[in-house]
């Protein structure tokens, strides 16, 4: 029994930062210098605060459009997302979305439109005649 205990290695203490850095270096090549990391922290921090400010401005614009022009936030979000899509992916997305909506009985009803709209507008769903 004593031989088994002697055969077990004693756990080693934590590695020094220098040894840990050497281990990482051996796996990933040269480590970035402290100035790079600190610089990234400052740059990313500023961009994050800028993006928060920009998101606030975007939210304010959308809120004003909702109040002043009856813009539907969700519909706007969807069409803006679709505007950024590749045309083939957008067509596929619209085809699937429209198919799913029709399968769930969510087709557009003509009574949802105002009287001043043309009959062609009333009889379409997702830009296609139904």
Whole-model pTM: value is 0.51
Dist. CA 71–CA 74, nearest whole Å? 9
Average pLDDT over residues 26-52: 86
Q: Do residues 110 and 122 lie in contact, with contact meaning Cβ atoms separated by under 8 Å?
A: yes
Nearest to 64 by CA among 81, 82, 76, 50: 76
41: pLDDT strictly greater than 60: yes
9: pLDDT strictly greater than 60: no
Q: Do residues 94 and 126 lie in contact, with contact meaning Cβ atoms separated by under 8 Å?
A: yes
Query: Which pLDDT does position 32 carry in this prediction?
Result: 85
Query: Which pLDDT does position 30 carry in this prediction?
Result: 85
Dist. CA 93–CA 79, nearest whole Å? 12
Query: Which pLDDT does position 76 carry in this prediction?
Result: 94
3-class state of residue 122 by DSSP = helix
Rounded to the nearest integer, the mean pLDDT of the chain is 79
Model confidence over 67-118: pLDDT tens digits? 999 999 999 999 999 999 999 999 999 999 999 999 998 876 666 556 665 5
């Amino acid at each position: 029994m004593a031989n088994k205990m002697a055969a077990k290695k004693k756990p080693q203490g934590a590695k020094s930062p220098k040894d840990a850095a050497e281990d990482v270096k051996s796996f990933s090549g040269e480590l970035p210098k402290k100035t790079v990391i600190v610089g990234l922290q400052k740059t990313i921090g500023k961009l994050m605060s800028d993006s928060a400010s920009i998101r606030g401005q975007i939210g304010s614009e959308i809120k004003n459009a909702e109040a002043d022009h009856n813009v539907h936030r969700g519909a706007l979000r969807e069409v803006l997302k679709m505007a950024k899509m590749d045309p083939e992916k957008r067509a596929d997305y619209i085809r699937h979305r429209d198919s799913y909506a029709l399968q769930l009985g969510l087709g557009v009803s003509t009574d949802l439109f105002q009287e001043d709209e043309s009959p062609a507008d009333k009889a379409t769903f997702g830009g296609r005649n139904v």
